[in-house]
Chains A and B, each alone.
Chain A
């Protein structure tokens, strides 16, 4: 199972806690993880990646294993520690404030 941490507003929207666990079939990539999130929580469709461009929303970042994966291509395999569930895949909202 792949573990995913969602930002606060998406937890509220999906009615889940801080972390969700997903069965991701096949190769575990950023695309396949987000596909699995949207399949299980359809209310999150369009909130992580834009419908029109299929790209990450600009104010979100993707982290795992202390690495920023936001600019990685979506079909690059995620680290084994994420695929095995040892480490979570983090979806993080960009900081805002003054």
Chain B
């Protein structure tokens, strides 16, 4: 019998939700690290019981946790994230140069082949890597150093590297997204990088088609077609069919295409999910109706999914790392809200139900499908 484990990071701790393959009854474990911000936790695809967690606090900074038993027990691992060489400067809100300063780990992406290797996306934006299970971290400084780094600037939520995707057919190809610098690709395992922003248009930039400065909120791919990428930008849902070399807008019939999350159905590479948000100045759903939108055509044609979701007086947000899918048949889709709900659909989005309703604000949701 299959089992599903949902890893939930919140503003006040981590929670682990487990169910059998029916996904009807859930056990809730937590809070783990109560009172701490858990921006992200994610398990190794090679060893699902190896889970890494980013634990941070305005008081005590960044710490890192690792579990070897599926989240039952945890051990503190290395938390020294030191930029390579002289950190240099990026652009501050007022346009002046500002020194790079480490603040927190936003996203953890375990290697597809080695449970001791993990990539970490951090604020101020940079990428780090461990090959010893999290004890030591080394910056992949070619990203910050490739040339455009001094032009990067923070968005309202900080200058964070929040998305890391590894091509399952070519592990040297890695994609990252940074708010608000844009999207970048490495073809050599993270040594060298280039912006992949051709086709993006951001009217809040002096040059709307600039190479960097786009506030990319999330990128997703299906493992069977890693050259096809889907992006939720600040505004605009985008698609690339050539590994990010160029993008086209696929917002189509959406009433609003602002949002944070985007994800792909586990078995249908052209089926994608987003949660549209009213606007960048009103971070809640339109008309108080929480709706997931699904496209079965890789964009442009979208249908609202509402069954089981609140359709009045709902003013939560769904943050960029807070949606995930399982690999069961039918595909399960999960997302968490700033109101502390984690919603699950066991039928690819046709209907939804809350697993939990009163957690602290949800920052991230990851799903493990266990055999």
Contacts and interface: CB of A to CB of B under 8 A. Distances in A.
Contacts of B76: 13, 43
Interface of B: 35-36, 57-63, 76, 79-82, 101-102
B61 A50 contact: yes
Contact of B61 (A7, A8, A46, A93): A46
A9 B57 contact: yes
Contacts, number: 44
Interface of A: 7-10, 13, 43, 45-48, 50-52, 57, 59-60, 93-94, 96
Which of B59, B81, B82 has the most chain A CB atoms closer than 10 A to its own CB?
B59
9 contacts: A9-B59, A9-B60, A13-B63, A45-B80, A46-B62, A51-B82, A52-B101, A59-B58, A93-B59
Contacts of B82: 51-52
B35 A9 contact: yes
A45 B79 contact: yes
A46 B35 contact: no
Q: What is the predominant secondary structure among interface residues of chain B facing chain A?
A: loop
B79 A46 contact: yes
Contacts of B80: 45-46, 51
Contact of B59 (A43, A46, A51, A60): A60
B35 to A, nearest CB: 6
A72 B101 CA distance: 24
A10 B63 CA distance: 11
Contacts of B60: 9-10, 13, 47-48, 57, 60, 93
A96 B37 CA distance: 15
Nearest to B80: A51
Given A45-B80, A51-B82, A52-B102, A7 B59 contact: yes
A94 B59 contact: yes
Nearest to B79: A46
B177 to A, nearest CB: 25
A96 B36 CA distance: 14
A79 B57 CA distance: 30
B30 to A, nearest CB: 14
B83 to A, nearest CB: 8
A47 B101 contact: no
Contacts of B59: 7, 9, 57, 59-60, 93-94
A60 B59 CA distance: 6
